[in-house]
């Protein structure tokens, strides 16, 4: 059964993500480009579809291919997008566009919620689960005292775990603090994270840098809470990669 509202929501999300990934390109231009690729004259068709109208299958497939090409959908989002329009060959197209997808691709770090975080934590030991719960509680406690301090601590947690993941997958960082280089290698070489994670990582890094180096840095409790939530989700996804590395190491003994 078609779900026009969900289709419209996912299309809007893709446009917003392209806007964020491509240096703030104007959304009107993005809509025009997507419309042309889908075989229409321009943004008018995209505006129409964003109101909950579902395109024909040929236009839908062209649109889906372009959104994936511009790294605005994870495999899970692509499936949901196609399902919401009742695209007949959805699974075939998903396998074609994401031939090497990993289970971690199903949920990007910026989209994880506490509801589906069990996708990752199901592979954790009881000790690791206790540690992640304690880390989250600690961040919330710090935020009650200082939003800036909570951001600094959350970033420290990510930085330490990124180093552990880089070591686990033998990613050379040349003695530098692990960062986007390690994240990119996990994406390009190991196919362990979706492309959209880079933008999430960079956004968190910039916020932490402002918190550390701007004398009059201010952030609302709501924005600080969102940062903590995103950082925690990212932390969980990194721990998942550590668990996967441990499994591979054990299997190869």
Domain 106-251 indexed as CATH 1.10.150: no
d(CA 238, CA 165): 7
Burial 45-83 (b: 16+ CB within 10 A, else e): bbeebbeeebbeeebbbbbbbbbbebbbbbbbbbbbbbb
Q: To the nearest 10°, the Cα dihedral for 63, 69, 74, 75?
A: 80
Predicted local distance difference test score (pLDDT) of residue 175:
55
> Is residue 114 predicted with pLDDT exceeding 60?
no
Closest CA to 101 of 71, 75, 72, 70: 75
> Is residue 144 predicted with pLDDT exceeding 70?
yes
112-136 average pLDDT score = 69
Closest CA to 148 of 81, 224, 248: 224
Most confidently modeled of 143-152, 168-177, 199-208, 236-245?
143-152
Q: To the nearest 10°, the Cα dihedral for 197, 182, 232, 227?
A: -60
Most confidently modeled of 6-15, 116-125, 167-176, 230-239?
6-15
Place of tokens 């040929």: 58
Whether 238 contacts 161, CB under 8 Å = yes
Closest CA to 74 of 52, 101, 47, 96: 101
d(CA 110, CA 29): 25
Predicted local distance difference test score (pLDDT) of residue 232:
86
Count of CB atoms within 10 A of residue 169's CB? 18
Burial of 96 (0-12, 13-18, 19+ CB in 10 A): exposed
Mean of the per-residue pLDDT values for the chain? 81
Select the more confidently predicted residue: 190 or 87.
87
Whether 49 contacts 11, CB under 8 Å = yes
112-132 average pLDDT score = 65
Closest CA to 7 of 43, 60, 45: 60
> Is residue 112 predicted with pLDDT exceeding 50?
no
């Amino acid at each position: 059964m078609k779900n026009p509202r969900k289709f419209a929501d996912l299309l809007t999300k893709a446009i917003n993500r392209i806007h964020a990934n491509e240096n703030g390109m104007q959304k009107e231009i993005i809509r025009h480009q997507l419309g042309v690729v889908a075989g229409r004259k321009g943004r008018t068709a995209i505006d129409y579809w964003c109101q909950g109208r579902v395109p024909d299958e040929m236009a839908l497939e062209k649109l889906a291919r372009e959104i994936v090409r511009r790294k605005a959908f994870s495999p899970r989002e692509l499936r949901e997008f196609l399902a919401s329009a009742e695209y007949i060959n959805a699974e075939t197209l998903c396998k074609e566009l994401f031939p090497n997808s990993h289970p971690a691709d199903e949920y990007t770090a910026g989209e994880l919620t506490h509801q589906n975080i069990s996708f990752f934590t199901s592979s954790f030991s009881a000790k690791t689960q206790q540690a992640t719960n304690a880390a989250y509680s600690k961040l919330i406690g710090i935020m009650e005292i200082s939003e800036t301090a909570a951001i600094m601590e959350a970033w420290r947690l990510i930085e330490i775990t990124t180093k552990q993941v880089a070591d686990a997958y033998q990613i050379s960082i040349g003695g530098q603090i692990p960062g986007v280089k390690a994240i990119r290698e996990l994406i390009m070489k190991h196919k362990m994270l979706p492309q959209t994670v880079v933008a999430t990582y960079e956004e968190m890094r910039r916020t932490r840098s402002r918190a550390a180096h701007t004398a009059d840095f201010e952030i609302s409790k709501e924005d600080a809470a969102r940062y903590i939530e995103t950082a925690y989700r990212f932390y969980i996804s990194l721990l998942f990669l550590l668990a996967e590395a441990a499994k591979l190491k054990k299997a190869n003994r």
